Structure 1
Amino acid sequence: MKHVLRFVFLTSCSFLLTVVLAQAQKGEVKGKLWDTAHKEVVSYATVAIYTAQDTTLATFRVSDEKGNFRVPNLALDTRLRIVITMTGLKTYRKEFTLSAGQPELDLGQINLEQADHMLGEVVIAAEAPPIIVRKDTLEFNANSFKTLPMALVEDLLRKLPGVQVDAEGNISVNGRSVQKILVDGKEFFGNDPKVATRNLPADMISKVQVVNDPDALRRDPDMPVSEIPQVINLKLKKGIKQGAFGKLYAGKGTKHLFEGGGIVNLFRDTTQLSVLGYANNLNRPGFGFEEINRIGGFNRSGWNSMSMWSDGGFALNGISFGATGQGIQRSAGAGGNFNTLLKNGIKLNLQYFYGGINADLNQVVNSQQFLKDRVQQPSDTLNTRRLREQDSRDQSHRIGGKIDWKIDSLTSFSITPSVTFSTSTANQYSLANTTFNFQELANDSQDTLRREGSRTAFTTAVSFERLFKKKGRIFTLFGDYNYNLSDQDQVNRSINQFYRENPYTVFLDQLRVNDREGLTTYSNFSFTEPLRKDLSAVLRFNTEYFQDENDINTYRYNEDRGQYDILEESLSDRVNRDGWRNYLTLGLRWKIKDVSLQPGVRATRLDIYNRFERDAPIDQHYFYVYPSLNITWKQLNFSYNVNVREPNAADLQPVPDNTNQLYVQYGNPGLTPTISHSLNLHYRYNNTNRSLNYSTYLYGTISEDAVTRARTVDLEDGKQTSTPLNTGGNWNISSNTNVMKDYKFDGNRQFSVGGGLNIWYSRTLILLDQYRRGVLENQLRGFGHSINVSPRLEGRMNLNDKLEIIQTYSVNRQWGRYEKNLANNIAITNQTAKSEVIVRLPKKLVWEVSYDYWYNSNAAPGLQRSYGRLNAGITYLFMKNDRGQLKLSVFDALDQNLSAYRSVRENMVEDYQTAVLNRYGLLTFTYNIRNFGGKVGGSSNSFFRF
């Protein structure tokens, strides 16, 4: 660990030293622009600096609102030329040289004359202005920004002043987010910006134009300038109207490992087609989230559920695309997406996707529970260790689509239907034992499980929006309708032995059949009416209907008939719940200069009808009135809301879940809804001139009648139970702060330093009863306080795209504090360091090395405290435009990789350690498809005929 910390310290120092030295050896030029004809300053003019010898663009800036400009970081002892351009004014040129003795040049006031007699002026093509400002349009000349041959639009945007592209590909211009990218004025593969930025080559682009989003302004004419989303229009070079992009790859590794797949996207005018397929046994998705969501088509037809895993795996709408769950996995998937523009402004999307995973899981779970009363010193530790081996198979199919209809310039309608079919099977063998104070054995268990299940889900989302000629008057309708049907059959065979004082053994051999059916409908109606220029009234009505049925039947094995047909009535029951949730919100939106106030009052009516097979029905009726508030001031946003949510149907089930004999879970039919008061504070700051980005948020929730699990522990044999109860006094607060500073020199060297801080705090009621021989011995009641503080540092360096270094270091410190001596206080520290180096030298070779290191300050006995993962690879680029790539990589070269994490909750600490893939080698060939224009070798390419 000392070596890792030393490396982090030296790397950070080298970043700062390089930045300081680079800044100390540069000069600058400044001045102020004046329009002589109109007697006013010239704002947003382009100030470009070229080397005088070869007219190479060195850097440029844009004058501010007062006509001032300052261009720093200029080379010394080099003849330079400043070129100032502005539409309608004559071009200003001047050559100069800066030196160590005179590193600053102040040009003072520069008078610019009108260009009324410019027809005869000679235009110097090499000095074409890199940026032009026209009223509400910002236009960049793409040829002024040099990129690598294989660069994409995203790489081009990173070089544009005022444009920021983060690691996830999100784009902002001068601090305002980009919500849409058009290609020649039309949508490209849907309305998501990243489809174009991460697939179109940069050398296809002639102009990059930035304008305010007109649709957003029509919806909210009083939107603050800082909040108006931006639209980027990419103007293609002439002759490019159709094409294809994507990739094909195949790889073979040691240990019978492999990967293969392809994603091909074709477009012709306003029609697009995407086809993909993949398979691998490398514990990773076949494609990245961006590729599946955008090119694969989920973004075009929408998705209503998403799951993300730490190693990059993800699932959308229940479709896994690899590396989801745990263990060593083999994944496969395929699908297609079709998108076209029909007559009358109707956009049609159709899609199908399949995802499947076979997983082998070997896992150790260690749980330490601290038992203590007001006088007991020291506390007892109830330690449970479980070894689990499981093989599982999950498959899902999804058919969906979307229709967008622009009825007229003021009215739009969309509908997004889909259906998903899923099946799953699992076979598991587990061993568990419980000890007191790591010495005295209380119990052990051997369990064999076989589970089969299926699920069918129908979903439909509908939206309608009507704008009116009167600005600010808007009517919207949004609906979300879901129907789910699932069944699960689970067979458990277990032997449970208890050893203290009076030893005994419990056998379990049963089939538990759980059938579920659910229907939810959600409709939201909203109407906004402007009362005057700075004041609008807002009326919202939400209506929701929900219906859940949870049917459990448990059968004991019949030795005579050799099947599970003996019904256990005490473990069988049916819950049927339905109800209505209706909201009516009345509010105002008041704009005072840069401040927007939106106070409101929400009335909520909640009616729930619970029906049980063997118990009396329970009807619940509630009525609430709560205020709401939203305040926006420049980049600062504050909101307060109250939400009411009924308990899950499974928590109402009156029969216990005894599939784990050491931990039996009960339901509670008397649960009431939870009321959550939420506060949200968000601030974002962006300084384009200083290349500084800063953001912070604070989120807090106070819950009334929160569902808390009350637990019991048998101090004799270690058996535990849990029952959900409504409790008060539970709340949590979380905050996140991030800051990033970029330093750019000569357009070829870039340094970035930054960091972040996450803080999370929760206050949870702990209910723990301790029994001995069936007699309550101790009853613990009090709050547990969990605190999590995670600072993070990050440094990045890019030297002319030849050398990249990325270094991150983070610490996660967790505390558990308990009132009334409920348990001993807990403190845990985890540290993570990640280093990555990429070298693109010589021209056709790319070298990559990454090292990840994890450290846990106090892992449970027998579990690994620290581990590292070293990955390395070399890629050879060949074929035209480097379309072919051959990569030899080594994963986990030190053979230390594993998956481990620790969590603190209530009065316990849990450690998870899972076997994963260890050291292996892999050789992969990738072919990048980049064909645009529809011509290959001067003849028509049939590949585009579709």
Structure 2
Amino acid sequence: MDKIYLYTIIFLLSSFQLSAQQMLNGKIVDEESQETLPGAYIFIKSESGETLFNAYTDENGAFKVQKPAVGTFVLEASFIGYQTTRKTYSDLKSNNLGSIILMQDATQLQEIEVTGQIMTGEVKGDTVSFNANAYKTRSQASAGELVRKMPGVRMTGGTIEVQGETVGRVLVDGEPFFGDDPAMAMQNLPVAVIDKIEFLDQKSDQARLTGFDDGETIKTINIITKKETRGGKFGQLFAGYGTDDNYLVGGAVHFFEGAQRISVMGLSNNINQQNFSADDLTGAFGSGNDRGWGRRSSDDLTVRELPGITKTNSIGTNFTDKFDNGKAKFSGNYFFNDSQNRLQRTSERDYILPSDSLQLYDENRNDETNSQTHRLNMKLEYDISERHAIIWRPRVQYEKGTFSGLLTGRNLYDKQTPISETANATKSSNEALRVDNDFTYRYKFGKVGRTISTSIETGWRENNSESNLVSVNRNYQSNNIDSLIQRTLSDNSSFQYEVEIEYTEPIGEKSQLRLEYEIGNDKSANIQEVSQREMENPVFEMDSTLSNEFDNGYMRHEMSLGYQYAGDKLRIYSSMNYEIANLDSDRLFPGYENTQRTFKNFIPRLYLTYEPDKSTNIRIGYRADTDAPSVRQLQDVIDNSNPLQISMGNPALEQEYSHRFFARARKINLENSKSFFMYLSGGLRENFMGTSTYIATQDTLIQNDVLLRQGGQLTLPVNLNNAWNANTSISFGFPLSFMKSNLNLDTRLSYSNQPGLINNELNTNHNLGLGQGLSITSNVGEKLDFNIGTSANYNIVRSTLQEDRDANYYSQSTRLDLYYNFWKGFFFSTNVNNQLYIGLGEEFDQSIWLMNADFGYRVPPSENLEFKVTVFDLLNQNTSINRNVTDVYIETVRTDVLQQFFMLTMTYNIRAFGAAAKPEY
């Protein structure tokens, strides 16, 4: 009850009404093209010229500004390159000012181009905007090369971090580009089309529909293109062939005509480039810490990059447009990918046992995976009228694949004393279909801020697989050898829905309440049929211990009361949710058993944004959340695909309850181009779903039927407490005028407290991570471009069961990227990467140098046609090493990667701008 009282007090304190004032709204539009103008300034002035209030337009060219109390006032709208517009209003009846037209000022544009000093950018509330011309890159650079030069940006593999937060979306002129795939947009947009780069916190679809800020945001990059490039086409076509029969062919062409944008792309190669980009050839290398396990999850037009070496064939298309005078926005994409992956990996794992003892596990695996993926996504946003609006988002994904793998695993007391081992051969095939459909409707009442909306989300999954396992196992203590021949058929399906109704009510111009009710259910059926046979007997017989059939339901009800306050400098959102969830699981085979759980929780949330001045932004957030155990985690079904590492579920699992917080501070001085960012986050989990590991001291039967060899491990999920983590990132950037470059310093600190059970004894791994990064990005010009940076990380690892054991390790990654156009169309480029590892063990401690080099020529006068010779891994030292720390073991992993080869590549850059552009409304 104390927790309920505390949450209620927090909610009430944050839910008071601070003022009641009216807001004016409208749009700023270009006179000639009728395009909206994001980033235009709005000033509300008295008749005498005194500025009363000011604002700026968002990514859609819309603005909201406080309405003055005086009867007559002047609205002044300005935008760089346009004549300033002034309009006088008297006794205004409506708060909607409609579209305000700005005319281009050719004289002003000419003066800026000839004599004007390029401004670094501007700050507009949550949005930081940087002018592309203030950062010099090579002429053929992509958006990613431009963005990495900007303060507060950190790019690691396919992940982009801005001000300590991971970027989840990239927009072009405020509209989706390549769905929700940041890396794809960064790789395919050339700097030639970019005018500005904006970093912002984009609100959820529901918040943008209703106008009620629910505090949920996605860190977003909005790329504003140059007006003259919004009509035409651009892209790349490339082909290359190299030693060892390595090849690369593909391209991407983008057609822009106002709001209509069409992209077509294709890629085929055997050099490990798994996603579209001609210049991202460093994807051929495993660069250590960030590539060992794959870099990304699936997005609209990309696949998760697999470790090992992959042969890829893929095509994709992306389409966006506006209809009905700009009220309807449609976007969609289709993607097909065919990949063949080979993985060779070795790993060494140290299990942390009670009484200062250790057990080792070594594993070697050689896998081949073939997969095909079809993905279709669409989204329609339609403002049917001033009061009615909808968002509809259907998605379909189909996958099929085959897998074959060889695995050898060995448990040891020490390096020379084995306990048990296994050798497995596995072949499997799978087929999966996924269909999702989300629909949201909103109605605005006559009173501003009063809305009602409803959303329906549905999802259907079907997954079928067949797996065949042949395993030979040995116990070194008794010298017993046995074999296992097993076939597994799985059929899993699920249907889930979620229905939500939301009502918002203004309580003054700056305050708003929200009432919400949500109901959802996740129904699933799982059938697993496992059969075994003896070596000399060709007939399979069902194993009832490993076979199962389950029907599961997870019904959830949630009621919520929310409040927001939107002041000039202070914005608050708070809510109190009450959730009731019922889990109902029926085991139909072997033997009927019903499992029911009911979870009841208060879930508070609070977000606060404070802007004391234009250059400073502080944002603080707290949210609680729940996480129910998955169907797989609840099933007490044994998985013995690796007989030395058996796993099973736990029907007694409870729901996990988490507390998460963050704090972010930003200070930017655009006059001297100095910037400061700080991001702090952390979390505490109650009933943390951790792992219980049992390490057999002798041959043991699990459920009286499945043999666990001496030294083998049985793992199952359990609820534990005292699981928490904290992270902070601080970055500081400023120009180095003497060398025409920018310096960025990045300091990172992390701590995790992760509990686990080992042979029923509690072990907690404490992991303290210290990181320091430094990067210098050039701002010289198009002919010389370089980036140099280093990132050092030191991890201090301690386990409560073995506090004296030193598992500390140090890694450092240093990289130089250099491009030099040394004479006419001839150029040289290289990237050099050093990976230093200390403390991983004698076999893994090393300093690895990776070097690529290009020598090329661009044919004048357009220089669109390019020939280059590339050498990959010039020093022939490429490798991939990872260190993983969990609650029960510390593991070091090495993965084989692509080795040295040479390639000749021809690239044609398409740059055809200036076609008549359709209006963007």
Q: TM over 0.5: same fold?
A: yes
Q: Which residue of 1 aligns with 2:284?
A: none
Residue identity in the other structure for 2:348: N
Moved more, 896-905 or 713-722: 713-722
SS, match of residue 651 in structure 1:
helix
| 1:755–1:794 contact (8 Å) kept in structure 2 | yes
Q: Which residue of 2 aligns with 1:612?
A: 587
2:463 aligns with one of 481, 486, 489 = 486
TM-aligned CA deviation for residue 462 of structure 1: 2.2
TM-aligned CA deviation for residue 453 of structure 1: 0.9
| 1:245–1:264 contact (8 Å) kept in structure 2 | yes
Q: Which residue of 2 aligns with 1:97?
A: none
Q: Which residue of 1 aligns with 2:271?
A: 282
Q: Which residue of 2 aligns with 1:260?
A: 249
TM-aligned CA deviation for residue 464 of structure 1: 3.1
In the TM superposition, what whole-angstrom CA distance separates every residue of 1:127-170 from its partner, at most 9, and x where no partner exists? 67679999x999x9x9998989946896999999x999986999
Cα distance in 1 for partners of 2:302, 2:148 equals 35
| 2:181–2:302 contact (8 Å) kept in structure 1 | no
Q: Which residue of 1 aligns with 2:520?
A: 544
Residues 624 and 895 (structure 1), Cα distance of their counterparts in 2 relative to 1, 3 Å cut: same
Please report the TM-score for the alignment, with normalisation by the length of structure 2.
0.75
Cα distance in 2 for partners of 1:316, 1:767 equals 33
Q: Which residue of 2 aligns with 1:695?
A: 677
Q: Which residue of 2 aligns with 1:728?
A: 721
Q: Which residue of 2 aligns with 1:915?
A: 896
Residues 270 and 599 (structure 1), Cα distance of their counterparts in 2 relative to 1, 3 Å cut: closer
Q: Give the alignment of 1:933-944 within 5 angstroms.
A: 933=914
| 1:213–1:230 contact (8 Å) kept in structure 2 | no
TM-aligned CA deviation for residue 845 of structure 1: 2.1
TM-aligned CA deviation for residue 287 of structure 1: 1.3
Residue identity in the other structure for 1:372: P
1:800 aligns with one of 781, 785, 802 = 781
Residues 397 and 662 (structure 1), Cα distance of their counterparts in 2 relative to 1, 3 Å cut: same
TM-aligned CA deviation for residue 568 of structure 1: 0.3
| 2:180–2:299 contact (8 Å) kept in structure 1 | no
Residue identity in the other structure for 1:545: N
In the TM superposition, what whole-angstrom CA distance separates every residue of 1:23-55 from its partner, at most 9, and x where no partner exists? xxxxxxxxxxxx9x97989999xxxxxxxxxxx
TM-aligned CA deviation for residue 406 of structure 1: 2.2
In the TM superposition, what whole-angstrom CA distance separates every residue of 1:447-501 from its partner, at most 9, and x where no partner exists? 111111111111122233444553333444444321111122111111111112x
SS, match of residue 271 in structure 2:
coil
Residues 265 and 902 (structure 1), Cα distance of their counterparts in 2 relative to 1, 3 Å cut: same
1:236 aligns with one of 221, 227, 232 = 227
Q: Which residue of 1 aligns with 2:407?
A: 430
1:841 aligns with one of 822, 830, 842 = 822
Moved more, 833-842 or 736-745: 736-745
Q: Does 1:408 align with 2:398?
A: no
Moved more, 332-341 or 363-372: 332-341
Cα distance in 2 for partners of 1:211, 1:840 equals 35
Q: Give the alignment of 1:13-28 within 5 angstroms.
A: none
Cα distance in 2 for partners of 1:810, 1:156 equals 18
TM-aligned CA deviation for residue 612 of structure 1: 0.4
TM-aligned CA deviation for residue 531 of structure 1: 0.9
Residues 688 and 246 (structure 1), Cα distance of their counterparts in 2 relative to 1, 3 Å cut: same
Q: Give the alignment of 1:570-609 within 5 angstroms.
A: 570-590=545-565, 594-609=569-584
Please report the TM-score for the alignment, with normalisation by the length of structure 1.
0.73
Q: Which residue of 1 aligns with 2:849?
A: 868
Cα distance in 2 for partners of 1:834, 1:914 equals 21
Q: Which residue of 2 aligns with 1:757?
A: 747
SS, match of residue 569 in structure 1:
coil
Residues 670 and 762 (structure 1), Cα distance of their counterparts in 2 relative to 1, 3 Å cut: same
Moved more, 507-516 or 267-276: 267-276
In the TM superposition, what whole-angstrom CA distance separates every residue of 1:244-294 from its partner, at most 9, and x where no partner exists? 211110000111101000112224455443221111111123414999xxx
SS, match of residue 545 in structure 2:
helix
Cα distance in 1 for partners of 2:233, 2:792 equals 45
Q: Which residue of 2 aligns with 1:766?
A: 756
SS, match of residue 255 in structure 1:
helix
SS, match of residue 338 in structure 2:
strand
Cα distance in 1 for partners of 2:395, 2:220 equals 30
Q: Which residue of 2 aligns with 1:664?
A: 646
| 1:446–1:495 contact (8 Å) kept in structure 2 | yes
**Which structure is richer in relative contact order (CA contacts within 8 A, separation 6 or more)?**
2
* Aligned-pair identity (%): 20
**Structure 1: which 5+ residue stretches go unaligned?**
1-34, 45-83, 90-119, 292-307, 374-378, 770-778, 936-946
Cα distance in 1 for partners of 2:774, 2:116 equals 38
Paired positions, count: 783
**Structure 2: which 5+ residue stretches go unaligned?**
1-44, 55-80, 87-106, 281-289, 612-616, 699-709, 917-921
| 2:398–2:434 contact (8 Å) kept in structure 1 | yes
Residue identity in the other structure for 1:832: S
Q: Give the alignment of 1:497-536 within 5 angstroms.
A: 497-500=474-477, 502-536=478-512
Q: Which residue of 1 aligns with 2:440?
A: 463
TM-aligned CA deviation for residue 821 of structure 1: 4.4
| 1:217–1:228 contact (8 Å) kept in structure 2 | no
SS, match of residue 507 in structure 2:
strand
Q: Give the alignment of 1:170-189 within 5 angstroms.
A: 182=173
Residue identity in the other structure for 1:371: L
Q: Give the alignment of 1:222-233 within 5 angstroms.
A: none
In the TM superposition, what whole-angstrom CA distance separates every residue of 1:570-611 from its partner, at most 9, and x where no partner exists? 111122211211221113224566233333321111111111
CA radius of gyration, larger in: 1
SS, match of residue 650 in structure 1:
helix
SS, match of residue 408 in structure 1:
coil
Q: Which residue of 1 aligns with 2:298?
A: 316
| 1:318–1:396 contact (8 Å) kept in structure 2 | no
| 1:482–1:520 contact (8 Å) kept in structure 2 | yes
Cα distance in 1 for partners of 2:114, 2:632 equals 70
Q: Which residue of 2 aligns with 1:22?
A: none
Cα distance in 2 for partners of 1:269, 1:474 equals 32
Q: Does 1:787 align with 2:777?
A: no
Q: Which residue of 1 aligns with 2:94?
A: none
Moved more, 639-648 or 525-534: 525-534
Cα distance in 1 for partners of 2:148, 2:658 equals 45
SS, match of residue 881 in structure 1:
coil
Residues 929 and 165 (structure 1), Cα distance of their counterparts in 2 relative to 1, 3 Å cut: farther
Residue identity in the other structure for 1:584: M
Residue identity in the other structure for 1:368: D
Cα distance in 2 for partners of 1:469, 1:849 equals 62
Residue identity in the other structure for 1:253: G
TM-aligned CA deviation for residue 886 of structure 1: 1.0
